[in-house]
Amino acid sequence: MTLSKALKTAFLAASVAFPAGAVGAAELNIYTTREPALIQPLLDAFTTDSGIKVNTVFLKDGLAERVLSEGASSPADVLMTVDAGNLVDLVEKGVTQPVQSDVLTKNIPAELRDAKGNWFALSMRARVLYASKDVDLSAFNYEDLADPKWKGKVCIRSGQHPYNTALFADYIAHHGVEATEKWLAGVKDNLARKAGGGDRDVAKDILGGICDIGIANSYYVGLMRSGKGGEEQVKWGEAIKVILPTFKDGGTQVNVSGAAVAKNAPNRDEAVKLLEYLASGAAQKIYAEANYEYPVNKSAEVDQIIASFGELKIDSKPLTEIVSHRKQASELVDKVGFDN
């Protein structure tokens, strides 16, 4: 099935209730918080390749709570979600089990998977800099967001949004709490408008002359420039240049979508096969095409729009370490009045 045809049929399979007896050896069951249209092409390709049928249940919220309530009789084999913090939460709530797989170890870098094999990243989005094409800028450090030369020129969404608390948590991992508080206060002083809106609003406001630079996710640029967000958003995407910022002592901050094998998975072997398939070059290419995300498998091609940003140097801080600072990051956002 082609990607376009798969996307057309994705919504038809978006929130399927498991049929009776859907725990056979030729089937597996996914609980997912990912938008169905983004994963269905991958599941269709897996079924074609393996002969294993995949049943999905879409859960916008409460994934771990659903599995916990079902207990040992839960039909869930694979748990799929977005954001490293959510993956770590699944482990902390005791609904995953460790997996040892040479395929997964080979295809997914160590900093993008749990050290004990409880979860694995399957795609990435980078926290990048959107900049006006009128700004003479070819490189950028996250630390520079607090430089007074950008006073009144920075746009960003709410500091309490998970995309930003993840970035701020990474800053803590690099520089500590005290330095991060000072930096956040400096970024707030540089804001051109109140922190808020969405990532695409950063591009919109740069086009409108409200700000010169802003922090946002990489994949939104693909959605805008490709036309998937509509004609108006094409103008937003074309109004900016994208720079892959880094920490002065590290790389570019990334967040992930990922998956884990459920603790009581009835079809564990099939679940592992699915994860291995999703980490393969072929599946990673579909991820890149469907949502303009970065593949975690280095052998997979990056979409041309995203590749135009240059080579991505992933920050070396393990996602589990970054996630451990989320609460501190959130507290600092409130302490400096970032969203006020």
Looking at the fold, whether 153 and 104 belong to one and the same domain comes out as no
Contact 35, 123 (CB under 8 A): no
The structure tokens listed for 14 are: 């978006």
Structure letter (DSSP) for residue 325? T
CB contact set of 70 (below 8 Å; sequence gap of 6+): 76
CATH, residue 181: 3.40.190.10
Looking at the fold, whether 50 and 136 belong to one and the same domain comes out as no
Looking at the fold, whether 228 and 151 belong to one and the same domain comes out as yes
Looking at the fold, whether 80 and 147 belong to one and the same domain comes out as no
- Look at the block and give the residue holding tokens 């280095």: 298
Looking at the fold, whether 200 and 280 belong to one and the same domain comes out as no
In a domain, 307, yes or no: no
Between CA 249 and CA 46 the distance in angstroms is 40
Tens-place pLDDT, residues 173-223: 999 999 999 999 999 999 999 999 999 999 999 999 999 999 999 999 999
Looking at the fold, whether 228 and 264 belong to one and the same domain comes out as no
| pLDDT values of the chain reduced to their tens digit, one per residue, 340 residues | 444 444 333 333 333 334 333 444 489 999 999 877 778 888 999 999 999 999 999 998 899 999 999 999 999 999 999 999 999 999 999 999 999 999 999 999 998 999 999 999 999 999 999 999 999 998 999 999 999 999 999 999 999 999 999 999 999 999 999 999 999 999 999 999 999 999 999 999 999 999 999 999 999 999 999 999 999 999 999 999 999 999 999 999 999 999 999 999 999 999 999 999 999 999 998 888 888 999 999 999 999 999 999 999 999 898 999 999 999 999 999 999 999 9
In a domain, 306, yes or no: no
Q: Provide the pairing of β-strand 120-132 with 53-58.
A: unpaired
Contact 290, 124 (CB under 8 A): no
Looking at the fold, whether 78 and 95 belong to one and the same domain comes out as yes
What per-residue confidence (pLDDT) applies to 289?
85
In a domain, 42, yes or no: yes
Contact 129, 140 (CB under 8 A): yes
- Look at the block and give the residue holding tokens 């082609």: 2
In a domain, 189, yes or no: yes
Contact 141, 245 (CB under 8 A): yes
What per-residue confidence (pLDDT) applies to 39?
84
Looking at the fold, whether 108 and 133 belong to one and the same domain comes out as no
What per-residue confidence (pLDDT) applies to 4?
42
Per the structure, the complete domain to which residue 233 belongs is given by 125-252+313-335
What per-residue confidence (pLDDT) applies to 185?
98
Looking at the fold, whether 327 and 197 belong to one and the same domain comes out as yes
Give the total number of structural domains in the chain. Answer: 2
Tens-place pLDDT, residues 222-255: 999 999 999 999 999 999 999 999 999 999 999 9
Contact 240, 305 (CB under 8 A): no
In a domain, 165, yes or no: yes
HSE (CB half, 13 Å, CA atoms) of 122? Answer: 29
Looking at the fold, whether 94 and 62 belong to one and the same domain comes out as yes
In a domain, 308, yes or no: no
Contact 78, 262 (CB under 8 A): yes
Looking at the fold, whether 70 and 132 belong to one and the same domain comes out as no
What per-residue confidence (pLDDT) applies to 111?
87
Looking at the fold, whether 265 and 129 belong to one and the same domain comes out as no
